[in-house]
Every structure is written in C-alpha cells, then in structure tokens.
Structure 1
Amino acid sequence: MAQERPPLEEMTLRQLRRVASEYSVSKYSRMRKDQLIASIQEAQRASGAPVVVRTVETQEVVEAAKFDVGQTDLTGGVLATVDEPLADLPDGYGESRIVLLPRDPQWAYAYWDIPNDHKEELRRQGGSRLALRFYDVTDIDVSYQRPHSLQQYECDELAREWYLPIPVSDRDYMVEIGYICADGRWLMLARSTPAHIPPVYPSDWIEDHFITVDWNEDLRGQQKFDLVPPSKRTSPSAVSEAIYSEIFGMAQVAEGQRVDGSLFGSMQHVAGSISGSEQFMAAQAVSSYIFPSGVGLWAVPTMSGLTMSGAGFSGSAPPVRPRKFWLIADAELIVYGATEPDATVTIGGQPIKLSPDGTFRFQMSFQDGLIDYPIMAVAADGEQTRSIHMKFNRETPERNTNTKDEAKLEWLS
C-alpha cells in the first residue's frame, strides 16, 4: 500500500525537489520553496493530477483546533469582561503594618498600610510629623537593647512606600513608622521584622562539607548540616576558654561564700571546738579562704577577751563569742570594650573572646598591688593595631588598733 504524501506546504525542501523531479520540473534545484510549490502545482494541473491547496483559513482552523479542550463556546468573549463580577481591591485592610525588603546592598524598600483612625489617635496624643526610623539591630533584641544606629526620615502623609539608604551593608535592619511630637516624643504606629542587607562585596567564606546520604532515604523535612558563617561563631579558642573558666569559677565560689552571715557562721563552728590563739588563727584562715585577694587578713570580726603575748595570744583565756557587728568588703576588676568583630584582642598578652558584635568583657579578682593591663586589638588583615594601656593599683592598709579600717583604690591609665 503506497504511503500517502503530506500536503506540499508541509513538505521539506528536499521532499519538494524529489516531487519536482517526478514531474520533470526544470531547474528545480535553483528554486525556493514557494517557487517549487507553484511549479509542482502547475505540473499537476497539466498532467490532470488532483491539486491539494491548503488555504490560510484552513491552516488557522487547524492551528486553533490544537487548543480545543472540549469547550462548547468557541467564540470566546471580551477579555475586559472577565473581572467584572470581582469587587475592587480595598484601599487598606484595617491593620497597621510595615514591611522592610532589601533591594540591594545600598538600598532597602519599605511599604506600609496604616488605617486613618490609628493615625488620628496618635495625632490626638501630640503627633505632628510622620516619619520613618531606620535601626541597625545586628545581633541584638530591641525589646530590651538599644540599636547600634538610628536614621530618621520624615515622609508625606499620603505616602505608602519609601526607599531607605543603607549605612553599612551585611547588617540587620528594622524600620518603624510613627509620629514625632513637638516635645520630641516618638509615637510608633508599626514596626517591621528585622531584614538582613546583603554585603556589597563577594563573600570570602569558603567551606566544604561532604556527607553520605542513602540512595533510598527520604530527605523531606530533614537537616543534615548547619552552615554557620565565621562572623556568627561564638566558640572561643582554647586559651581564652581556660582563662574564662578560671575567672568565672573563682567568682562563683567567692559569691557563694560571700552570703551575709557565712563568715560569722563559719567562725561559730570553729569556735565551738578551739579557743584562744587557735580561734584567732582559724578566723584568719577562714577569712583568707573566702577572699583570695587578701581582704580576709584585716576585715575579720573583731575579737574581745584575748590578750596579746609576744607574737601570739594566751591560750589560757576562755573561748569567747565574736561580736555580732562586723564588716566585710572586697573588690573585683572588670575590663570591657568593643572593636571590630573579626579583630584579635589581647589583655596582658592573653587572647580574649569577642562577642558576635565585637564587644568583650574581662573579669578577675582585684588583689593588692599594681595590675598592669596593656590592651591591644589587631585587625583581621594584621596591618592595623590599636592599643590602650591601663594600670590599676589597690592598697589595703593593715588592720589598725582602733576600730577604723581604711582602703585605697587608684586607677592609673
């Protein structure tokens, strides 16, 4: 059974040349496609063969039938009438809301919807000028912490959107809309959620981690690895961790033993079994243990009924109870500051842990004598340094024979 030929319009140029050769069309190899079709149709009419001509209208019907999915109304309709039964969009939704979106490292886009009754309420409270406040809230909670920076932009009452310039990229920002009062008060209408602005430079963070996943394992809803940027990591170095563990351990022990009456109760326990010079030496030992800075050598409860004999006390004196009136005092040294989060900070040659925002805090027992603390910060590139030299001097005089004690504290910077 001979295969039926497709219409001439659907044939390729090679197929048309083959048909033209069958009808002895001269110079068919030099003709274009439309010329070949016309020459073949003329040859077909001359030979009496049926000529199949597909008109433009027929072609359009065939093409339109490709999208016929069974609808009965093939006439369609006017596109403008499709949304006629739909209601118009409202001007607002009755809720005070503002949204902050980063556009690029230099600009952020904010849009808001504030009901008029909410604006009228704040105007009655003294609001006079509508404005936007743009906060830097990187690594802080604005519910109880102050933002790093604030920019204020007054805007028009009819405005519904605003573009805000970014002071520093690669930070978290938040925007508020509200009214400024004549007395300087700020009346907030709405506050956005924090948005992170991308950095203006390409990231230098390169970190590859390879994990093994079973071929048939369902990975939906699973987390295999959590990538944390270097700037967000808070794990300190081994040296810094040892320093902080030692300092905080001393502080916790001292604080636990510094409760009112702890020293008095310890002396009562000791006094129940020893007497005389042994009781005084025990009191010194207990006090020195509680206060490693040496304050226990002089700030102990005063003793009565003891007589001094040479370098010690007479052991013949009966045990007596200490007076209930006494005084204890001690001091700790806290050094704090801030620098760039990626810098290296040392205090007295020892590295100090930095918080994600670049702040640091160093706490230790403040003993008698001179404490020399050179503080140095080195930039991440190692090319810039900043230093502050602090000197602290504590002098605690020995206990006098009278009932008054003195202490002297100096800070030399």
Structure 2
Amino acid sequence: MTAATLRSLTAKDLAQMARERGVAGWHSMRKEELIGALVRAAKRRASAEAKLARAGEGRRVDAAEPVGLQPRRDSLAQRKLSQLQDKLAQGRNLASGTPDAAARQDRLVVMVRDPYWLHAYWELSPRSVDRAQAAMGQRWHGAKPVIRVYKIQPDSAALLERDIQIHGGVRNWYVDVQDPPSDYRLEIGYLAIDDSFYCLARSNEVSTPPAGTSDAVDDNWKAVAEDADRIFAMSGGYSAQGASRELQELLEERLRRPLGTPMKTRYGSGAAGRDGEQLDFAVDAEIIVYGAANRDAHVTLQGEPVQLRDDGTFAVRLSLPDRRQVIPIVASSYDGVEQRTTILAVERNTKVMEPLTRDFADANS
C-alpha cells in the first residue's frame, strides 16, 4: 500500500478503509490526511507481523556460541513473543479499563446524533470477555471485535446491515447510516473467522430523523451535555414506548441531572411560591428552502435572485406567516436556453390553546 496507490481512490473509499483499520479520528480527516494515516497504519501492521514472525522462528544458535547462553536467549525470545501477543490481545479487549468495571452492568447504548450518524457507547466487564473466549474455544483465535448494525424493518424484523470492526482501548464509536428516517439496533461482540458471532451486549432501538432536520455536532460529551434533551428525544426518550433504561441511566450519570418530561423532572415544591406570576410564552416559525443547481445557473426564489455557493448549492430562510403561500423557485441555464421551475406550497395554521393551570397539591398526589 503506497501513497500513490491511495491517491487514485476517492475520499469516501479512503474513509471506509480507515474506519475498517481502526484509524482514530478518520471521520474528520481530509483526503491527504487519510492517505498519511493509512500508510502509517500499514507500516505499523507490517512491522508487528515481522516482529511476530521473527519471534516465532526463534534464534539460531551459532556453533561457536557457548551452550550456556542458549536457554537465556531462548527465554528472552519467549518473553518478547509473549509481550507481543499480549499487545495484540489488548487490541481485541473490549472490557472497561476502570477499577470498578467488574461490578458494572454490561451495556451498549446507542444515541442518535443526526440523520446519518449514530453514537454507540459501551461498558463491558472483563468477566464477559472471558466468557466469550471460553465459549468460542478455538474460534477465539483470529476473532475480531465488531459492532453489528441491524436495520429494523416495518414488520419489526431485524435485518443485519453490516459488521463494523472496532478495536480495544475505546468505549464509543460513531456509526454512519443511510436512508433516513430509519430504525436501528446495534450489537457488540466477537466475530470468528467462520462468521459465527458471540454477542456481548445488545443496544436500545433508535429512529433517525428525516434528512435536514438537525445540525451537525462534534464528538465529545460536552456536545451531548449541551444538546442532551434533543439527543434524548431523537433516541426515543419522549416516544410512546419511552427510551431504554440503559440510555436514560447513561445520560443521567454523565450529565448528573434527571431526564424526561418537565412534569417529571422540573415540577417541584418551588411551584408553590409563584405568587400569581404568569407564564410568558410566544411561538413563531420560519422556513428554510434549500437545493442545488449547476454552478453557473441563475436561480430565483419568488422573483428574487438567489446566491449560489461554489458547489451550486443554496439555502434561503423565509418567514412563515400564518396562512397558505406559494413559493416558486426557478433555475435557468447560463445561456438562458433551458429553464426549470419548482413550486412549493406551504401552509401555517397556528392554534393557541387555553392555558392550563395545575394545582400544586394535585401534582404531588
């Protein structure tokens, strides 16, 4: 694998290769960064395989060498081989590295970050990994830690979409998905060479939102804390079935606050001292019209010209009055020969309901 060979591939293909090889931070790398990371990963892998081969062959004893040195050198080679095998085994170890990991419950939690990304987080005890090794027997050798992605069908059947190879030393993984909105469930475990799978933990089921309904967020728990209620809602927190117990426990542990509807989490004794204060509440709405055309096309929206980006895409924010309106969007070729028109008909119908006042004593009964 050379840099020249990799440059002939697309950035999407390079990202797929980096993900399969466990390259950290691949999802935020550009093409040249992906090429450099893949080349370095290939060199490290080749070096590790060469060391393992040399250690397995042992060291040939020279005839002139004193016989008394043979056991010492053989034991040194054995130690190196053992150390290398331990290092390779660590790459497959999915157990939590915390001191109290053995006391924790095994769990795999998946959260929806946006229409195309899921965030999986797991906690597994060393005892669970030991059980997997004992159950798989000879198949354990060469087994790979993977996340299995299941797509939930309309009839509630779970269809295996793909396996994602992961590595030890991490406790979370970003999973890219397609065709929003869709329902997914994940499993984490070990996949043997004969394609048999040992499951360590199964996740909650989540539904991705329609495309274009959420903004991108970064990849740390600070972002989860800032956007926890939206993530909780997209992951099924406010649905009729409710969120999984593991998801709610994980978020509440991390954020150190309860999650749920305001009546369950925020309505308390403080409501008794409101002194007749009224609740101010106002709602308005806007609409965002977005699309794409040839970079040299001329686009108008409701007769006004639209500025295209360098790649031909555009996005326009419009007010959404409380009535029905028709929005024509027209694209013309640079020479004016061809013209295409799309008409959006949208309607806003706002209803303000009567205010509801709950009695404090009833709310706590």
Q: Tell me if both proteins adopt one fold, taking TM over 0.5 as the criterion.
A: no
- Bigger RCO of structures 1 and 2 (CA < 8 A, at least 6 apart): 2
TM-score, normalising length from structure 2? 0.31
- Greater share of helix: 2
Task: State the TM-score, normalized to the length of structure 1.
Answer: 0.28
